[in-house]
Amino acid sequence: MTEIRTATAADWDIFARLAAAENWRISPAERQLFRGPWAGHALALEIDGQWRGFVTAVPHQRSGWIGNLIVPPESRGRGYGRQLFAAAVARLERKRLNNLWLTASEQGRPLYKQYGFAKIDEIERWVGDGVGGGCDDGLRNNEGLWLADSRAWGESRRELLMAVANHGRAFIAGDVVIFLQQGGDMNILGPWYKDKGESDPCANRDLLRQALTAADPGRELVIDTLLSSPVHPLLAEVGFIPSRRAALMVRGGPGAARLDRMLALASLGSVG
């Protein structure tokens, strides 16, 4: 018998083990959300009582994100990933959202294309280390972050931003906003937005250095940038190196989202 059901805490434990084996990274903000207001947005697949896979399907105000699709290695090649993906799409379709987003490996793209998803950009992960030693000049009210996020995505992503804001601080100069997420075994740099036009390279460089000195010294610092973002030379300048790429795919077109205002994502690929 096939059963696709809302994931439980035990399912999350299985997912965490499989994700760690694949070197997937889950941010503290995401963990907080999926333990709380997003607890019903994850699905698990069982076939004849055997655990066969996991996926998340998160609705924002006008868009949805599919992520964390995983099947145990010994169960791959049997169509279980397709079943989970179809269930995630169907769940978000019932929300009547304007568009659906995901990030995809090379292997996953053919399946997603069959469901109407098209590549719109790429996500390139860069990895470096925090420097530390700086003063705490980041903003804790984070109003600039919320405003920049809503202008970039064309919608309110209140739950995600509230969770992100609980784990770090924003750095703002002119029309540029960088957020540093701290906690867990790594720091995350993102989201990173520019409000309009060509952002000032000096503002980007200054805020990046502020964030680096505020980050935990010696702790891994991860940033998921859009490949179209102009910040890669700045990251290389301060010692970051690119580690992997994934396709950014959307069904229904970008709608009100402005990718030209996005330099880096708020999450590590699963919720935008």
Structural domain harbouring 185? 124-264
Higher-scoring residue by pLDDT: 203, 125:
125
Confidence class for position 199, pLDDT limits 50, 70, 90 = low
Residues 26 and 135 in one domain: no
pTM of the model as a whole:
0.93
Q: Which residues pair with 193 in a beta bridge?
A: 177, 262
- Nearest CA to 227 among 244, 252, 250, 202? 244
CA distance 225 to 235: 10
Average pLDDT over residues 191-208: 83
Q: End of a domain among 58, 90, 119?
A: 119
Q: Is residue 269 domain-resident?
A: no
6-48 pLDDT tens trace: 999 999 999 999 999 999 988 888 888 999 999 999 999 999 9
On whether both 184 and 247 belong to a single domain, the answer is yes
Identify the domain boundary among 119, 140, 171: 119
Q: What does the pLDDT look like over 127-171, one tens digit per residue?
A: 999 987 665 555 555 788 889 999 999 999 989 998 888 888 999
Question: Does the pLDDT value for residue 75 go beyond 90?
Answer: yes
Are 92 and 72 members of one domain? yes
Per the structure, the count of domains in the chain is 2
**Are both 44 and 128 inside the same structural domain?**
no
We report the CATH number of the domain holding residue 138 as 3.40.630
Residue 56, Cα to own-chain centre: how many angstroms?
12
DSSP 130: B
Other CB atoms within 10 A of residue 212 CB: 23
